[in-house]
């Protein structure tokens, strides 16, 4: 039973939230609609929400013009998977070690992780180090390495989960039964820490899928290593990039008349967004949980 005031409040809430929700979607709708509109119509009338003349030519062009897009997809997938796995392999054991009070030198280790959250050299020294000393410029590691653990935040987050949510007694009991520390970690701590591991893996995954900066900074000569984001980034400046870079120079041979200059940007962006949109409904719950878990500090 709603009171009258409650009813008004609910109605107004619905309207406001619906406007905000539509507002969140609108740009993506414009993007999608433009990508399936005929290029000539776009040139004349600009990007519109309702296509006057429907055309999938931009997509056809993207896929027929060369292997750049499927390849970039593949690299994005490999990058995201290896990024998530490596991030977790680095973060989880460290967080677990820090959660053990009796570890000698724990204070130092804590500070070692923690200092990275307070102070960092910034882009220039990091770039110089990765380029001149480590030598990852123009390699796949240029995409992978700089983002594995951006700072100690996730380690600290996971550490506090280990401390507060996993009872010491279970692990102690297993140890007394003769299990090694590694076995306790693997068979007890990790399964119990699944929620936080999922969360941090998800954040790392979103980070890697969306990252364009590493490729922009570290891949100056190897555009064959471009992820989908790097490809998109490159096309902001150079619309011809996709075709200029493909082996199929003679477009006529494969039945492509001309570059759909206006719609192609939009179709590329749709291709960039699509995997995220497909994954979103599944990942969303864990994502929301993750934000509440680490949000205040993130």
Partner 1 sequence: MAPQIQTGTYAKKGKLGKRFVRSIPFYLMALPAIAYLFINNYMPLPGLVLAFKNFNAKKGIYGSDWAGFKNFKYLFATGEAYTITRNTLLYNFAFIIINTILAIFVAILLSEMRSKFKSVYQSLILLPYMISMVIVSYLVFAFLSTENGFLNNTVLKFFGKSPIPWYSEKKYWPFILVLVSCWKVIGYNCIIYLSTILGIDRTFYEAAAIDGAGKIKQITKITLPLLKPTIIMMTLLAIGRIFYSDFGLFYQVPQNQGALFPVTNTIDTYVYRGLIQNGKPALSAAAGLYQSFVGFVLILSANLIVRKIDADSALF
> What part of residues 217-276 is at the interface with partner 1 (CB under 8 A)?
217, 229, 232-233, 236-237, 262, 265-266, 268-269, 272-273, 276
In the range 86-115, which residues lie near partner 1 by CB under 8 A? 89-91, 93-94, 96-98, 100, 102-105, 109, 112-115
Classify each residue of 29-67 as buried b or exposed e, where b means 16 or more C-beta atoms within 10 Å of its C-beta. eebbbbbbbbbebbeeeeeeeebeeebebbbebbeebbe
**One of 51, 73, 78, 127 touching partner 1 (CB under 8 A):** 127
CB of 178 to partner 1, least distance (A): 14
Q: In whole angstroms, what is the distance from residue 262 CA to residue 105 CA?
A: 60
For partner 1, what does the binding mask look like between residues 142 and 181, x meaning CB under 8 A? Answer: ---xx-xx-xx--x------------------------xx
Vertex 126 angle, CA 122 and 129, to 5°:
155
Site track 29-58 with partner 1 (rule: CB under 8 A), x = hit: -xx--x-------xx-xxxxx---------
Strand partners, 37: 54
Comparing CB distances to partner 1, the nearer of 105 and 255 is: 105
Q: Which is nearer to partner 1, 191 or 249 (CB)?
A: 191
Burial degree of 246 (CB within 10 A; 0-12, 13-18, 19+): middle
User: Of 97, 68, 94, which Cα lies nearest the Cα of 148?
Assistant: 94
User: CA 267, CA 242: separation in Å to the nearest integer?
Assistant: 12
How far are the Cα atoms of 84, 196, 294 from residue 165, in angstroms, in the given order? Answer: 23, 10, 14
Instruction: Choose the binding region for partner 1 from 61-69, 122-130, 240-248, 252-260 (rule: CB under 8 A).
Output: 122-130
Q: Which of 51, 64, 78, 117 binds partner 1 (CB under 8 A)?
A: 117
What phi and psi, each to the nearest 5 degrees, are found at residue 96? -65, -45
Query: Per CB under 8 A, which region of 57-65, 166-174, 192-200, 287-295 contacts partner 1?
Result: 287-295
| Site residue total, partner 1 (CB under 8 A) | 103
In the chain, the N- to C-terminal Cα span, in Å, equals: 40
CB of 253 to partner 1, least distance (A): 29
């Amino acid at each position: 039973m709603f009171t009258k005031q409650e009813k008004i409040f609910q109605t107004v809430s619905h309207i406001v939230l619906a406007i905000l929700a539509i507002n969140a979607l609108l740009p993506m709708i414009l993007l999608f609609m433009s990508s399936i509109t005929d290029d000539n119509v776009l040139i004349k009338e600009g990007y519109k929400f309702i296509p006057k003349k429907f055309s999938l030519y931009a997509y056809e062009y993207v896929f027929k013009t060369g292997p750049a897009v499927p390849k970039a997809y593949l690299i994005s997938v490999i990058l995201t998977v290896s990024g998530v796995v490596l991030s977790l392999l680095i973060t989880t054991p460290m967080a677990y070690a820090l959660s053990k009070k009796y570890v000698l030198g724990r204070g130092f280790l804590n500070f070692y992780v923690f200092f990275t959250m307070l102070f960092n050299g910034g882009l220039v020294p990091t770039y110089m180090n990765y380029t001149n000393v480590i030598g990852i410029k123009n390699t796949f590691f240029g995409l992978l390495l700089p983002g594995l653990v951006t700072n100690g935040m996730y380690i600290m987050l996971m550490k506090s989960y280990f401390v507060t949510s996993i009872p010491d007694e279970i692990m102690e009991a297993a140890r007394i039964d003769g299990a090694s520390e590694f076995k306790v970690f693997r068979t007890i701590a990790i399964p119990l820490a699944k929620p936080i591991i999922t969360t941090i893996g998800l954040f790392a995954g979103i980070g890697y899928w969306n990252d364009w900066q590493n490729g922009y900074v570290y891949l100056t000569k190897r555009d064959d290593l471009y992820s989908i984001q790097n490809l998109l980034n490159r096309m902001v400046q150079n619309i011809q990039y996709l075709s200029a870079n493909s082996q199929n120079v003679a477009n006529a041979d494969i039945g492509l008349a001309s570059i759909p200059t206006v719609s192609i940007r939009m179709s590329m962006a749709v291709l960039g967004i699509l995997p995220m949109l497909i994954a979103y409904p599944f990942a969303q719950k864990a994502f929301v949980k993750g934000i509440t878990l680490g949000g205040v500090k993130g």
